[in-house]
Amino acid sequence: MKFVVASKKAVLGVLVITALLVAALFAVGMTDSESVYLGKSPRRLPIYSVETEEKKVALSFDAAWGADKTLGILEMLERYDARATFFAVGMWAEKYPTELKALSDSGRMEIGTHSNTHPDMAGMSAYDINLELSTSVSLIESVTGKNVELFRPPFGSYSDTLIETAEDNGLFTIQWDVDTLDWKGLSASEIAGRVLNGVGCGSIVLMHNNGEHTLEALPLILEGLKNKGYSCVTIGELIYRENFTIDHTGRQIRSN
């Protein structure tokens, strides 16, 4: 009888432990599910787009290599009375200060940082992230004479530490909700189609300053957006700087 009682106790113990483990796993799963249901992410997110009823979009250009099309982009923005945001790698800013200064002085282009050396920063320590950001910001500001407020992570790769360190440096971390894939060699019409079919109010569009057909696509994009009733603003003009939340899709929403 003692053996039977002991066995029952052992079985009961196993069942209790199993139940606790299942409950714990279920609770973890429910935490993520609840976060999605409530419109919140369990991790820190950059800004992918902005909730707004106004027909505004933000075009953005990442610059890490090459500059031969850069002033042509500025010319197109001036022709269509549009503004945009330019994310420069620190080494790019150091190599092409004349182009960067022209962009900044034009009043058409807001300048943000795209890191200093274009590494994948998701796995970096806060110290190394801070070094990348502070060095690049210093280089850009020395050329433009204007404060840098925006940061786009290389490769779109990020972590909680990256976003928090950027915030400590006074920077908003910016992604995109419309990707032109212009770096893949798409034709001008394909690039333009991805933008015009993908944008909505508050969209942020990703392009590159030296994409093979980016400059060729730009007038198609600007003309098409104009015909759809959109105005092209800088990301700094689009985002909220206080009293906001970011939902699980990365959409920035003004808080009441």
Q: What is the pLDDT of residues 28-59, one digit of tens each?
A: 333 333 333 344 446 799 999 999 999 999 99
- 93 with 214, same domain: the answer is yes
Cα–Cα dist 65/68, whole Å? 10
Provide the domain limits for residue 13. Answer: 1-38
Return the structure tokens found at 19. Answer: 């139940």
Return the structure tokens found at 95. Answer: 């190599």
What predicted TM-score, i.e. pTM, was given to this entire model? 0.84
- 54 with 172, same domain: the answer is yes
Helices 214-227 and 70-79 cross at an angle (nearest 10°) of 20
Comparing CA positions, the residue from 155, 157, 175, 148 lying closest to residue 58 is: 175
Cα–Cα dist 125/77, whole Å? 38
Comparing CA positions, the residue from 75, 109, 97 lying closest to residue 143 is: 97
Whether residue 43 lies inside any domain: the answer is no
Whether residue 4 lies inside any domain: the answer is yes
- 25 with 113, same domain: the answer is no
- 5 with 74, same domain: the answer is no
Whether residue 146 lies inside any domain: the answer is yes
- The CATH number for 54's domain is 3.20.20.370
Cα–Cα dist 213/169, whole Å? 34
- 2 with 71, same domain: the answer is no
- 153 with 28, same domain: the answer is no
Whether residue 94 lies inside any domain: the answer is yes
Please list the rounded mean pLDDT of every run of 10 residues in the chain (256 residues): 46 45 37 38 87 98 96 97 98 97 97 98 98 98 98 98 98 98 96 98 98 97 98 98 96 92
Query: Which amino acid is it at 182?
Result: D
pLDDT tens sequence across 142-183: 999 999 999 999 999 999 999 999 999 999 999 999 999 999
- 122 with 220, same domain: the answer is yes
Whether residue 216 lies inside any domain: the answer is yes
Whether residue 28 lies inside any domain: the answer is yes
CA quadruple 35, 37, 38, 41: dihedral sign: positive
Domain count, the chain: 2
Backbone angles phi, psi at 120, to 5 degrees: -75, 115
- 110 with 6, same domain: the answer is no
Whether residue 44 lies inside any domain: the answer is no
